[in-house]
Every structure is written in C-alpha cells, then in structure tokens.
Structure 1
Amino acid sequence: MLPPTQRLPAARELIDMDRYFVLHAPRQTGKTTVLDTLASELTAEGAVAALTVSCERVKAAGDDYGAVESLLLDSLREAVDLSGWPKKLRPPRSWPRVTPGSRFGAALREWCRRCPRRVVLFLDEIDALQGNSMVSILSQLRDGHNKRHNGYPFPASVVLCGLRDLRDYKVASGGGSEGSNPASPFNIVAESLRLGDFTADEIAELYGQHTEATGQEFTKEAVERVFELTQGQPWLVNALAREVITKMRVSGSITGDHVEEAKERLIRARATHLDALAARLREPRVERVIAPIMAGTWPHTDTAFDDDVSYVHDLGLIRSTRDLKIANPIYREVLFRILGDRAERFVRADPHSFVLPDGRFDLPRLLEEFVVFWREHGEVLIRQEGYHEAACQIILMAFLHRLVNGGGQLDREYAAGTKRLDVLVRWPYTGPDGDRLVQREAMELKVWRAGENDPMPDGLAQLDRYLDRLTLPAGVLVIFDRRPEAPPWKERGGFEQAATPSGRQVTVLRV
C-alpha cells in the first residue's frame, strides 16, 4: 500500500485553513482509504477530532430528507463508536429535538459546542444523496459554514467525497449545471480535488513492497507493461498483481508476458470493477460521449455535452475533459467487448479453421468470411446496436474478437476527431526452426457517411503513418458505406488493391 495522504497533499493544506471542499475520483481509486488515514492522523495529533462518515445507507431514503437525516446521524454515531474516542470527543448521547430539515445541522452544532477540539467531518459516498435530500443536507452545511466566523460552533472543515464534482451534485438534486446563485447550497466549497492515478514510479514502489516482503520480483518490463495497460488506475494496478500472484500462482519473477495473460483473464472474467463500467455504458450521458470517441467523429459540443464529458471523466472512463480518449488500454478493450457481445453471438465460424498449416493466422480468409457475415447480419445488427454512431466498428471488432482472441490478441487505438479506428492483430506462432514468433497485421477502419467524400485517400495516408510506426510493409483498410445511396446489402464486400503514399501495399475492403 502506498502512503495514502502523500497522494493528496492539498487536502491537508485545505483542512488546516478550515476550508470546505470536494474530493472526487472514480470508484476504487483509494478515496475512502485516504480519508480514513487522514482522519486517524489528524486525530492522533491532538488538536482535531476528524471523523469519516459514510452516506451510503441513505440512498434508499431518496427525497425523504427527514429519514435521510436520521440515517446519516445513525451512521455518524456508529462511526464514533468504532473510533474508540474518549468520551470528551464524542457527540451528546441524544441529538437536539428540532424540525426535520434542520436536524443534521443542529446535531453538528451541538457536537462542536461540546467538543474541546476542532471538528473535521469527511462525508464519504456523498453521491448517495439525491434530490431534496441533497439540497437539505448541503443547505444545512452552508448555513453553519457561513455562521462560523461569529463564534457559531460548527465543523471547522467538511469534505464531500464521492464520484463526481460538485456541479453534478446540483444536477442530481434536480437543478441545472449552470452557475449557482449566491444563496445556493452548492457554493460552500473552496476547492474541488481529484484523486489521481498512480504514476509509473508509484507502481514500481507498490510492487517493490511485495518484493521486499516475499522476494518475488516484478521485472522492469512487467512494471512498464502494467503502467502501459492501466495508466495507473489503482484498482487495475492491484488487480493485475493479484491475478498473477494469487490466481495464476506464478512462483518466479513476474514478467511482461505474465501481466499480459493476467489482463486477458481479468477481462474474460468481467471482474466487478469492469462489470460496473458495463452498467454505465448504457446511460444516455455516457453514450453521448463514448460513441463519438469509438467512431472517431467530432461530437456536437454544447453546454449539456460539456457537462456529460465532466461526468464521464469523473467516472474514470476518459483521460481528461479536453483529451477525449479512453482512460487506458484495458478500458479501450473492455468497452468494445461489452458493446460487441450481441454481435459476437451471431458469429458461427470456427476460430481454429483460420489457423494455417504453418501456425500463422489466415487474415485474407477472415476478411472474406466477414463479407459473408456482414451481408447476412450487418443490417439487423446496426439497427439493434445502441451505439449507432460506432455500430460498424463495434460489429467488426466483435467478429475479430471471436476469431482472433482464442490464440492471438487485438490492440485498438481510437479517439474523437480521428475519423478512424486502428487495429493491430498479434498472433504468436512457432517458426520452422522452433523459434517463437509473432505475426502482426494492421487494419484501419473508416466510415463513409452521408455528404462526405470517399474516405479512401485519407485512410491510405493515415494507415501509412500507422504502418510506419509499426514498421510493417502492408495493411488492410476497411471502409463502411453508411450513405443512403450505398449499394444493397447483398452486393457489399468488394476488395481492391491500393498503395499508401510511401508505397506500402494495402488491401481495401468496402462493405
């Protein structure tokens, strides 16, 4: 475990300044651990009584703010009982009897009046509050926050911790996302902090602790591959290591190949964290952002879209609100696999039949089989696919996954505005001399949409750069025709040969 508070030094600074602020990050990145550790450290120093209270159980109460207050105060009492604090730091045995809608603020006031230390309150899982309950709790916090300077007893610092930034709490409460008015309960925070992912050095430090404890080494190649696959997402970093050590039971040094196998196992098993992503993909706000990224198109930008981007970023699905790219390669692969589940069920071809006598993969035959598949099922699948903007890419990826991933691997690169999806097929086989070799085949996917010019010239130029980066002499360009004037479905699937600007040979498939 990495020292939690070192990951968020700004939090301690804001607490020392008696600020109210937001800490947000995607699920399973260490937020609760950071809060619990910080609360223990602050309380142990002697000047502060810092407590983490989970709001999770209030979710079932919905808009019933009276019930929410009761549940929240029960959680606070339970957290205090578990803390082992002396009696002088604890809140009163009974809460003040006041009107529902002011009970939470009154309870905090009474606790702070009795406590000899500054009270710091961490409200974890704040996302559980909804609608009127959200407004009620935040309004009471704002009221107490604004009275503190007149000697009013109230927590010196409050941290709202959850998945989202404050603007989305306002949306969750039924309000708009535009700037709040001066009396808004959403105007009490001084900062909004985001708990970041691990750096490459932090991954090395974390894995180094395992080496110190057991003697088992993660090679430099393994650490670099973990960072490449996860971009430091904490749950993925730990899950890959756990898969290698406890599930695969690797006994010697852990290599990049072990990490690669662990990645495949995690994705196939659809671990809880990855399944949670699957549930999010069908949300309209998420689809509105992810679909153009997968399709490589430019999204329609407006205020609502900007809010959706912030929401998807807070979920951890994209790198940043400006750089519309999927957060890491594992998520890139998971998204296509999840969304392609339906299409993959239609693929009946036997994967083993595509393995040539010399062990290589028969890509030309795969393309021919895809033409048959597309003519038979493409029209139906496009109508059924929720992500209409990226439907062609999702369907071809499902076809490739079904036939390649049994013995090989697929790497995908895509981002909004690129107007393409790059795919690399990696197929290991044994050479005539017994050497372990890897066949690499590069493909680029383009879509010809209504009102646009033939994308083939751009596709050849873009594929040329991709092949140059991979040092490959040839590739495949697949062009999906989505124009109203496209040929009938039964007539699609023509092949032609072309060359990139630098002279590399390209097989062009139009479907």
Structure 2
Amino acid sequence: MERGPGRMLHDLGGLDAESRNRHCGRWQNVTMRPPRAKYYNTTGPCDPQRHYMLPPTPRLPQARVLIDMDRYFVLHAPRQTGKTTALRTLASELTAEGDIAALMFSCERAKAAGDDYAAAESLLLDSLRQAAEWSGWPDELLPPDPWPQVTPGSRLAVALTEWCRRCPRRLVLFFDEIDALQGDSMISILSQLRDGHNARPKGQPFPASVVLCGLRDVRDYKVASGGDPGRSNPASPFNIIAESLRLGDFTADQIAELYGQHTQATGQEFAKDAVDRVFELTQGQPWLVNALAYEISFQMGVTGAIIAGQVDEAKERLIRARATHLDSLVARLHEPRVKRVMEPVVAGAFPHVDPTFSDDLSYVRDLGLIKQKPPLEVANSIYREVILRVLGDPTEQYVMADPRSFVLPDGRFDLPRLLQEFVVFWREHGEVLIRQEGYHEAACQIILMAFLHRLVNGGGYLDREYAAGTKRLDVLVRWPYTGPDGERLMQREAMELKVWRTGGDDPLPDGLAQLDRYLDRLSLPTGVLVIFDRRPEAPPWKERGGFEQATTPSGRQVTVLRA
C-alpha cells in the first residue's frame, strides 16, 4: 500500500489534535509533488490521487451496517473487482470517526506456509503488525510488541485478545486475500477466529468485527473451518449465508460516471455509443471497464471523441495481449471443477447434475467466469471470446490457408469459399482434433471457431453467443469494407452451429427455427446452419461436408452444411 503525506493525513483524521500533530510532524519538511494526470488503473488497488475511480464504499452499503452490529462476515468477488480498494477506504473512514480502529491486511504471504499452520500464524502476525505500523496510528492503537509467546495453533487468537485488551477503541480487522490460506492453516486460523468470536459474550476481549475477503463465498469457509455447509449453527460466526456480501459489477450508469471523470479532466468525451458498447462487452466487470478505457485513452492515443469502433479495437488489443487478468481466468479452464461447468456451456448441452455439481457451479461463479444468475452462460462477451480462442488455439496451428485469399475484389469477405475450405480441413483433420480436444463434448464448436478466428479475425470480427442447454452456438461475422463511393460499410454473416448426438433426432428442423429467430434479431435475410454429426453411424469422414439449401419456417433461403 502506497503511503505519503496526503494518505497519512487522511488516515489520521479521527485522532485527537495532539496525536495528529505528533505523527504529521514527520512530514513537515517534505516537499509535496505536483499532482499527476490521472489514468485508469488496471494493476492493484486504486488511489484517488492518481486514478479515475468511483467512490468505493457506496458499493458496499451493507458492510457498514454489519460492522456496526459487531458481525463477522464474508466479502467475496472475483479478482480485480475493487475489493481491496473498497476495504482500504472503509477502514480509513471507520478509523477517522474515532470510535473504531479498523485495519486491512493481506494474508497472501501465508500461502507459502501450506499446511504448516505455525508458519502461517507467524506470517499472518507479521503482516498484521506491518499493516498497523504503516497505518500511522498512535502508539496506543498499535498491537503489543512482541506478540504473546504461546503454543502454535493458538497464537493468533491470543495475540488478538491481548491487542483488544490494550486498545482503547473497538478493533475491526479485514483479512484480505483470505483464500491464500490452505489446508490445515485455513482450518487453524478460522477455528481460532470462531473460538474468539464465541467467547465475546463472556467478556473475553476480541475484535468487534472481522471481514474475510476473497474469491469464495461463506460456504467454502465453513467447510474449511470444520463446519457443515448445509447445516445452521448459531454459535458459528460463519453462519451468515444470507449476509455474505458480494461486490457487484458496475452498472451502465456507473460506467458513464467513471468515464465522465476523464471527460471532465481532459475534455475528451466518451460518446454514448462507446459507453453502451463497453457495457455490452463487459457487463460492468470493473477490470475490463478500466482496461478498455486505459487502452483507448493511453495506449492507443486516441484524440477527439471516443466512439464504439475504438472500443472494439481496444477489445481486440486486450485479447491479443492476453493481459494477466484474462490469463489468470483461462488458466482455470482445465481444472476438473471448472471444466465440469464450462464444457456444457460451450457445447450448449445440459450439464450432468450430481450431488457435487452445485458446489462446482458456486466455485465457477465465484471465479467470475459465469453469470451470477441463470441461465448458465459466460459472464460477459469478452470472456466468452477469450475462452473459445484459448480452447481453439491448438487447432489454429493446423490452419494453413492465407486469410488474404478470402477477401473479394470489392473488399467483402468470401464466406462461401471459407466454408468450402473448412470442409477440406474437417475431412483431413477433424477426427484427430476431436480426439485431442480436452473439452470433448464441445470439440466441433471449438474447432470451427478456431478455423473462423484464424481466417476472419485479421480484418473482421467474430461475435459468439452460447449457453448451457441452448443446443446451439450462434456466430456473427462482421467484416468492415469500403463501398464504391468510399463509404465505410459492414458486411454481416450469421451462422448457427448444432451437433447431432447419439440417440437424438436430426437437429435440422430445430436448427432452421433457431436460425430464423437469430436472423430476425439481426435483421438479416439469410444465414448458414452447420450440423456436426457425432453419431457412431455418421458417414465416413471423407464423405462429410455436403451443402444443401433449405427454407426456414419464415420462408428464408439458407445454406445447410452437414459436417
């Protein structure tokens, strides 16, 4: 956490005049730097002096209420959504009021301890002391030095008890990155917090409120501390499922407010269509919202009003660069728990539900990969695109065709020729690629998407829509080109992908009806239906790839490819 004179003065706002003078005197000879131009932050907690940011604490209105009630609770959200910034600001505000000493500290160092709970305790207590010393608090609020020396496995509880015995204020602690604790270390720390919480009614000093902040919801912490996730236990501080807080994504209005700060500071406007496009692509995911704005305003060096087309360009640049945020998400795709949820989403199939599926679903939701509420689909358009690109990357290496050869003399994209080339590719490589694909149920969709991406994405765009249970994957190819009069035009081609599985009926009738609805939504006169045959009795590979014309229920003439 960055410290400085401005932050120190803010943190000391709730102290008496003598304490403020004593601690601020350290800075009286420091020359203040002139303020720098603000920018959109994509790395670590936000600083209002340097970054454009929304007020953090209004995003957590319930947190203050629970702290006033001396509750222990969980705040969970995916990574890089603003948890640390919100907690740091809330701790500062609470301390400034004078009745509470609120401190946020990170548990991340304790990850190295693994199951060694004694080492984890030592690392946590070191982090706790360092955070207190860096806070600028007066001596009477600081923890005891040294910590009480007691048996490992009880050091945290005894240390917090002794600190609360000495501290003239109510102590509130924010355990950030609590997920870093593992195995026996997690059990030991949470059990000590539970025991200390339960001893408070008997007059035992212990923190007034504790907030566990991380990726996971309260259910996982109850399991880690030895509790039954499905059973109520009034004595447990983690029996607060209804009050477990999740930090939400930005609304469209909040994105407009955040981007408006840049306009106010620089005069450069984000046009309404650009703000709308950002919300459409991100669904308000905070890191993505900031990353797109940073890419446009800083990396791309856009001058003049920012429009939707530049948002699309920024999205492509982010995905190609595979920023750490995106990489950390896609690295999870082959975890068994994640694959069990994501494979049917990509395949458009119904998931196989057993007693453990609910836990897996909650885990993937907590990672931020899928939406918080049904239907079961990827959280936003950018994640949706990244997932298919990553899964299809091995297939792309097999695609040898030159993307430039599919551009017609008038600048438009030759989709019929691309489909013919795909048939050749499918006959030659399809059987091998399906066997190699880890997401076996979604192999056909992944392979065609990889082929399209390799040949379209250099000059055009692919928009994909898929969700569990839909039994289809919708694709829109958008290809910008220059018309005969020099005007910029956009070619749009719609495709629908379906799979004929063992024991199922020919999906042609359903596919035509679904393609009809998709074309209605896009206001397009025609499209392509691709049907992959995964049945054992499917034609030999060398005979697959036939084209035919068909009529949709509304009378549209469309192309059907049976692969």
TM-score, structure 1 normalization: 0.98
Q: Does 1:259 align with 2:311?
A: yes
Q: Which residue of 2 aligns with 1:207?
A: 259
1:6 & 1:503 partners in 2: Cα distance? 52
Q: Which residue of 2 aligns with 1:108?
A: 160
Does the CA-based 8 Å contact 1:24-1:195 persist in structure 2? yes
Alpha-carbon distance change, 42 to 186 in structure 1, aligned in 2, over 3 angstroms: closer
Q: Does 1:448 align with 2:503?
A: no
Q: Which residue of 2 aligns with 1:148?
A: 200
Does the CA-based 8 Å contact 1:296-1:418 persist in structure 2? yes
Does the CA-based 8 Å contact 2:171-2:208 persist in structure 1? yes
The offset of 1:432, in angstroms, is: 1.4
1:251 & 1:297 partners in 2: Cα distance? 45
Aligned runs of 1:115-194 on 2, under 5 Å? Answer: 115-170=167-222, 178-179=230-231, 186-187=238-239, 191-194=243-246
* SS of aligned partner of 1:303: coil
| One-letter amino acid matched to 1:466 | Y
Q: Does 1:69 align with 2:121?
A: yes
Q: Which residue of 1 aligns with 2:472?
A: 420
Q: Calculate percent identity across the aligned residue pairs.
A: 80
Does the CA-based 8 Å contact 1:135-1:185 persist in structure 2? no
Q: Which residue of 2 aligns with 1:504?
A: 556
Give the aligned CA root-mean-square deviation in angstroms. Answer: 1.5
1:180 & 1:394 partners in 2: Cα distance? 43
| One-letter amino acid matched to 1:268 | R
2:224 & 2:504 partners in 1: Cα distance? 39
Q: Which residue of 2 aligns with 1:475?
A: 527
| One-letter amino acid matched to 2:106 | S
Please give the per-residue CA displacement for 1:68-113, whole angstroms capped at 9, x wherever unaligned: 0000000000000100000010111111121110000000000000
Does the CA-based 8 Å contact 1:48-1:118 persist in structure 2? yes
* SS of aligned partner of 1:495: strand
2:213 & 2:401 partners in 1: Cα distance? 49
Alpha-carbon distance change, 500 to 189 in structure 1, aligned in 2, over 3 angstroms: closer
The gaps in structure 1 that reach 5 residues or longer are: none
Aligned runs of 1:372-387 on 2, under 5 Å? Answer: 372-387=424-439
Provide runs of 4+ in structure 1 moved above 3 Å.
Answer: 169-190
Does the CA-based 8 Å contact 1:310-1:321 persist in structure 2? no
2:237 & 2:142 partners in 1: Cα distance? 27
The offset of 1:166, in angstroms, is: 2.1
Q: Does 1:36 align with 2:124?
A: no
* SS of aligned partner of 2:474: strand
Does the CA-based 8 Å contact 1:19-1:189 persist in structure 2? no
2:474 & 2:221 partners in 1: Cα distance? 37
* SS of aligned partner of 1:474: coil
* SS of aligned partner of 1:441: strand
* SS of aligned partner of 2:127: helix
* SS of aligned partner of 1:164: coil
The offset of 1:174, in angstroms, is: 8.7
Aligned runs of 1:360-399 on 2, under 5 Å? Answer: 360-399=412-451
Please give the per-residue CA displacement for 1:140-162, whole angstroms capped at 9, x wherever unaligned: 10111011112110000000000
2:359 & 2:251 partners in 1: Cα distance? 27
Does the CA-based 8 Å contact 2:54-2:258 persist in structure 1? yes
Does the CA-based 8 Å contact 1:309-1:321 persist in structure 2? no
Does the CA-based 8 Å contact 1:139-1:185 persist in structure 2? no
How many residue pairs get aligned? The number is: 511
| One-letter amino acid matched to 1:474 | T
Alpha-carbon distance change, 327 to 188 in structure 1, aligned in 2, over 3 angstroms: closer
1:53 & 1:190 partners in 2: Cα distance? 25
Q: Which residue of 2 aligns with 1:290?
A: 342
Alpha-carbon distance change, 371 to 323 in structure 1, aligned in 2, over 3 angstroms: same
| One-letter amino acid matched to 1:204 | A
2:262 & 2:252 partners in 1: Cα distance? 16
2:197 & 2:531 partners in 1: Cα distance? 59
2:330 & 2:227 partners in 1: Cα distance? 27
| One-letter amino acid matched to 1:455 | P
The offset of 1:184, in angstroms, is: 6.6
2:438 & 2:220 partners in 1: Cα distance? 25
Does the CA-based 8 Å contact 1:20-1:190 persist in structure 2? no
Q: Does 1:307 align with 2:368?
A: no
The offset of 1:215, in angstroms, is: 1.1
1:324 & 1:50 partners in 2: Cα distance? 38
The offset of 1:251, in angstroms, is: 1.6
1:435 & 1:188 partners in 2: Cα distance? 60
The offset of 1:169, in angstroms, is: 3.4
Please give the per-residue CA displacement for 1:146-192, whole angstroms capped at 9, x wherever unaligned: 11112110000000000111222355679875447677785477721
TM-score, structure 2 normalization: 0.89
Does the CA-based 8 Å contact 2:218-2:240 persist in structure 1? no
The offset of 1:370, in angstroms, is: 0.4
Does the CA-based 8 Å contact 1:145-1:188 persist in structure 2? no
Does the CA-based 8 Å contact 1:131-1:173 persist in structure 2? no
* SS of aligned partner of 1:320: coil
Please give the per-residue CA displacement for 1:354-385, whole angstroms capped at 9, x wherever unaligned: 00111111111100000010111111111111
Q: Does 1:229 align with 2:281?
A: yes
